Structure 1
Amino acid sequence: MSNGTTTQPQQRVDAPPGEHWRKMAIGFGVPILIAIAFWFSPHPEQLTDQAWRMFGIFVATIVCIIMAPMPMGAVTIIGMIATVLTGIVPLAPSADNPGAPYALVGFGNSTIWLIVMAFLLSRGFIKTGFGRRIALFFVSKVGGHMLGVGYGLGLADLVLSPAIPSATARGGGIMAPIMKSVALTYDSEPGPTSRRAGAFLSLVVSNSNSITCAMFLTAMAGNPLIASLAGELGVEISWTTWAMGAIVPGLLALVVVPLVIYLIYPPELKKTPEVQTMASDELKKLGGMSYGEKVLGATFVVLLLLWTVGDLVLGISATTTAFVGVIILMVFQVLTWEDIIREKAAWDTMTWFAVLYMMATALSAYGFIDWVSEVIAGSLGAL
């Protein structure tokens, strides 16, 4: 008899091959030896055993991430539990010392959640095709010359960067396919024909992506972490503060860098009227803005308004604003809950960011960061 539920067939789990165990032995063996060396080695007298050993586990975790015996999130979780098992930090807040760092502190940090929400917002841009529409629009307007194509792609990246915090999602998911379409329009592919257009455009897109990553607090996953660590030292950096500080050098770089690339690594093709036609034709194929694009566009405007004036006038933090944006997209069914839970990059980033944030917080609380700062400042004083 059936009770109305379906039983999933059992999946056979075979033992990992020998190569897996060799990779694990090397990938974990070296970091473990590093942690042990720090644990038993002498340290500067200005530091406590706790600070020095925390630094050892931190270095071992970074080395393990580089050697990659397991995915980054899994490695950082192991590093976090290592700090707990060795007594460096407790798992949860201590009633006796509530202000002390603890292992799960990063998972409740508002900056980490800002990163997660921004990743979810970027899913909306990719899902609806709104990001691609924006990029095609700029190319269709300034794409009559190869340098103009480069500027058009840079402008599109600039517009998208406040709401898409992943250089990979923005550069690889949206800009790269359009750049490739432009190159293929002139039969420019990797190899002998790359210098026609593709090589130049690849350099422009990658460099423009790096520039826009630095221009907004929500343009790259690492930026909120910088702001959070600065906040621990009494320096408050809001979304608006970051943008005001970065907008001038960022815009200058977006103007100068494509021109420099054009001069030192010029494309063989200079005039590109076909690109404008291609972009215009692609826009026509897309037709009018879909329901999802309209909702996303309106949400994007709301986000920019709240990010720029929300914390100054209304007292709304950047993280709260990002939550509001995701909620709007869910209410209007642009994003579903399935989209939310399937956004692996967001939850993976949250995991390893939270752990690394905890380690950085502990190093700061135990005096290691202050000691390193004094050492660096002292060594640079004569200069």
Structure 2
Amino acid sequence: MNKKSLWKLILILAIPCIIGFMPAPAGLSELAWVLFGIYLAAIVGLVIKPFPEPVVLLIAVAASMVVVGNLSDGAFKTTAVLSGYSSGTTWLVFSAFTLSAAFVTTGLGKRIAYLLIGKIGNTTLGLGYVTVFLDLVLAPATPSNTARAGGIVLPIINSVAVALGSEPEKSPRRVGHYLMMSFTWSPKPPAICSLPQWRGTFWR
């Protein structure tokens, strides 16, 4: 560990220690005040990054469990610290980002992009249809409109745009602009057809 990282670590450790020795404000229990210090330190850690983000968050969760185990009066159990990890929404978002990273890292997105260009993408209009059909095919198997669009479809469409020479920094107004507009609207029809994928269907 270099000197710069050491100073960052000292700063992060100092935050919960200082807050822990300060009296809790009126209306807050001692446990809530100490947990505030831990998560404030976690937020600072995510900003200054003495370690990778997962390490910072795991340390914060572990410290929270230790604090809850020692300061809780029984009304707040240690297992409550990890209760968020049992939520299906949490794992759905995690799976979406994992799939997105897999498309980029393995190059699968580029392979699918070239296949789509060769089969259907003779014109930009054809690529727009590809965007809609891809959403329509994936919709029944993906329980979330956001997860499907952001985690699966977007990496493929982005790869198609880059393969056609339209990059966000250099040439965004080429075919990439059209594809992103198509991508923005293509998830809506499949989501409306499938009740749990879009909140708007509950108001109809």
Match of 2:41 in 1: 60
SS at match of 1:183: coil
Deviations 1:62-102 (A, max 9, x none): 221222222211111111122233x2x239xx9x6586653
Question: C-alpha distance in 2, partners of 1:27/1:139?
Answer: 52
Q: Please, which runs of 5 or more residues in structure 1 have no aligned partner?
A: 1-19, 220-238, 249-383
Change (3 A) 1:118 1:21: same
Structure 1 residue 139 displacement after superposition: 6.7
Equivalent residue in structure 2 for 1:46, among 12, 27, 42 = 27
Alpha-carbon contact 2:20-2:37 (below 8 Å) kept: yes
Question: C-alpha distance in 2, partners of 1:115/1:137?
Answer: 32
Deviations 1:115-164 (A, max 9, x none): 4555677669x8877954896499737615xxx86x55764775558475
Please list, as runs of the form range in 1=range in 2, the aligned pairs for 1:289-300 lying within 5 A after superposition: none
Q: What RMSD over aligned residues (CA atoms) do the two structures have, in Å?
A: 4.8
Match of 1:176 in 2: 158
Higher RCO by CA contacts (8 Å cutoff, separation 6 or greater): 1
Match of 1:244 in 2: 199
Alpha-carbon contact 2:120-2:130 (below 8 Å) kept: yes
Match of 2:11 in 1: 30
Size of the aligned set, in residue pairs, is 185
Structure 1 residue 24 displacement after superposition: 2.5
Q: Please, which runs of 5 or more residues in structure 2 have no aligned partner?
A: none
Change (3 A) 1:84 1:90: same
Match of 2:69 in 1: 90
Equivalent residue in structure 2 for 1:199, among 172, 177, 185 = 172
SS at match of 1:104: helix
Equivalent residue in structure 1 for 2:82, among 96, 104, 128 = 104
Question: C-alpha distance in 1, partners of 2:10/2:177?
Answer: 39
Question: C-alpha distance in 1, partners of 2:28/2:82?
Answer: 24
Q: What is the aligned-residue identity percentage? A: 20
Question: C-alpha distance in 1, partners of 2:49/2:36?
Answer: 20
Deviations 1:14-64 (A, max 9, x none): xxxxxx422431332232232233323454412222112212211211221
Alpha-carbon contact 2:96-2:152 (below 8 Å) kept: no
Deviations 1:104-124 (A, max 9, x none): 334444333434555677669
Change (3 A) 1:38 1:204: farther
Question: C-alpha distance in 1, partners of 2:114/2:198?
Answer: 25
Change (3 A) 1:37 1:167: farther
Letter in 2 for 1:111: T
Structure 1 residue 203 displacement after superposition: 5.3
Please list, as runs of the form range in 1=range in 2, the aligned pairs for 1:303-318 lying within 5 A after superposition: none
SS at match of 1:38: helix
Output the TM-score relative to the length of structure 2.
0.60
Letter in 1 for 2:198: A
Alpha-carbon contact 1:119-1:166 (below 8 Å) kept: no
Deviations 1:208-257 (A, max 9, x none): 77x58x97xxx9xxxxxxxxxxxxxxxxxxx9455132899xxxxxxxxx
Letter in 1 for 2:26: E
Bigger Cα Rg: 1
Change (3 A) 1:141 1:155: farther
